[in-house]
Structures are given as C-alpha cells and as structure tokens.
Amino acid sequence: MRDIVVAIKVDIDTERGTRIGVPNLLGLLGELGIKATFLFSLGPDNTGRAIRRIFRPGFFRKVRRTSVVQVYGLRTLMNGVLLPGPHIARSNAGVMRSARDHGHEVGIHCYDHVRWQDGLARMTCTQVFAEFGKARREFEHVFQEPATTAGAAGWQANSYSLAAYDDAGLTYASDARGTHAFYPRVGDTVYKTLQVPTTLPTLDELLGRPEYPETKLVDHYLSLFVPDRINVLTIHAEIEGMAQLTLFRELLVRAKEVPVRFVRLGDQARELLRASAAIPVCDLVEGEVDGRSGTLAVQQCA
C-alpha cells in the first residue's frame, strides 16, 4: 500500500480561538494519537478591523457561506474597533505552552493578524522586520526558546517577509499555497528558508458551497489525499477547533482507517532538508485560490 502522509497545520487567529479552540483540538488530537503543528497569533486580537475586507471581491459570498458571527463570536468581531484588542500571548501563555507540552510543534502565525494579512503589501522592509520581530520576541517570552517555523496570516508573503525569515534563521516556513516543498524565489532572489506549502483546500473555502455538501465533505477530503508526498491541511482553531469540531473529528477518524499517517510538519521539513540539493526553486507569486477572497502567496513552478 502506498504511503499517505498528512501534516495538520493549525492556524490560530484570535484570542477566543486560542482560549477555547486550542484546548478542544488538543483533546481531540490526544484522543486519536495525532501530532500537529500549532502556529500562534502572539499580539493583539484586532479582528474587528478586518471589516475593511468588504471591498475585496468574493468577501460577501464567503461571509454568507461560513457564518462569520457564529465562528468568531460577536465579542471577537468588536475587538480593535468597539473594544480594545486583548493581547493573546499575555492572556493565554499557558494554553500555548500546553500545545508544546502535548508533543505538538509550535511556531509563529503572526503578531497582529489583521495588520499582517491586510497590510503586508503596504509595509516597508523595516516595518516587516519590526512586525515579525515583535512576534519572535513574544514567542520567546512564552516558550523560552526561539521559534523555528512560521506560517503567515492569510498566506501573505513577499520578498521582505522572506528576508525576515532568513534573518531569523527559521528551519522552514509554510506561507504559500502549492503542491510540494520548495525554495522560494521573488524576482532574481532565491531565499534560503524552505517553504512547505498548504496543499489542500481549507474547510472554510468549501463550506456552504452547493458543489461541496457538508455530508460529503469528509469523502471529498479523503479523495484529495495524494500518496507519496506531504499533504498539508491547514485548519483553524476557530473553525475545526470550535464550530466544526464534530466534522473534523469524523475526518480524522475516517483518515486513520485509510490508513493515513499523520506527522508534524517540522519533522517532514527536516527530513527533506537532509537532501536539500534535491529541493526545487519555485517562484512565490500573488495568486487567487478558489473559495477565498483576495490574493495569496502561491507557488509557481516552471
């Protein structure tokens, strides 16, 4: 039987997702004996400021499909606008450490999720380094060690953020959408931090679409797993860890019956790096992903 390998990357965007979704996921993953990679937002939760996304094509379709208020909660949607944004790491350091203590990999998602996802393209190099530097410092304060991985908020990456990763000496990153691991190139510059992209659609990109009825979503995901390569599934603490926890549990149980071998993303990255000369160089470009509004960092190979 050909080996099917799946790495679960957990993006944690909000204070509520950290406080409630992460413990839920730790319980589920512990029950099933699965290890994952948890990437934390480490600064203020300013989710309410994301209202500016209403001007993006496709934004309202996604809002209708994914029940934003149910997923994030009314309090979270007021953070940073009508209410001060709570500082996630300073309020939830114990929860974050519990992910590591349960044997999961931990890394950086961002400092301020909305600032990075909505503002990276307008930041100067100095501002990008400063923003990522704040995330690095908060991570070290929580975990008492440097971060070795990061996965950008909203899959937003560019030459400045890649340079910041190289400067930080990360082992690998997971910023892009794509098909296989690669060294990223922007323009004429090839960056040294390995990218291991998300290869599978996220649940919020499929939910509520008539071509993907909820009763068939698990079957659909199982059909997408490709043998003999790393299948990277990005989930969200606010969705799979809360509103869709039951559906996610069904997916994991069914996947283990296939059987699927679940791995930590970092373990696979380090295995790839042992033969680094075989890792291809691909362009990192802006592109669209079906079911998601706006543009993302996308792998493009010749």
Mean pLDDT by 10 residues, the chain (302 residues): 90 95 98 98 82 45 49 49 73 98 98 95 98 98 98 98 98 98 98 98 94 95 95 97 96 97 97 96 97 94 85
Where in the sequence is the domain holding 232, given as residue range(s)?
5-300
* CA dihedral (128, 131, 133, 135) positive or negative: negative
Q: SS3 of 184, please?
A: strand
Number of domains in the chain: 1
45: left (phi > 0), else alpha (psi -120 to 50), else beta? beta
And the tokens for 243?
């509103």
Q: What number of residues does the chain have? A: 302
What is the spatial distance between Cα 183 and Cα 284, in angstroms, rounded to a whole number? 9
pTM listed for this prediction: 0.90
Contacts of 127 (CB under 8 A, 6+ apart): none
Host H or E run for residue 131: helix 125-143
Distances (CA, A) of 225 to 24, 195, 216: 25, 20, 15
Q: What is the pLDDT of residue 293?
A: 85
Q: What is the pLDDT of residue 86?
A: 83
CATH number of domain containing 146 = 3.20.20.370
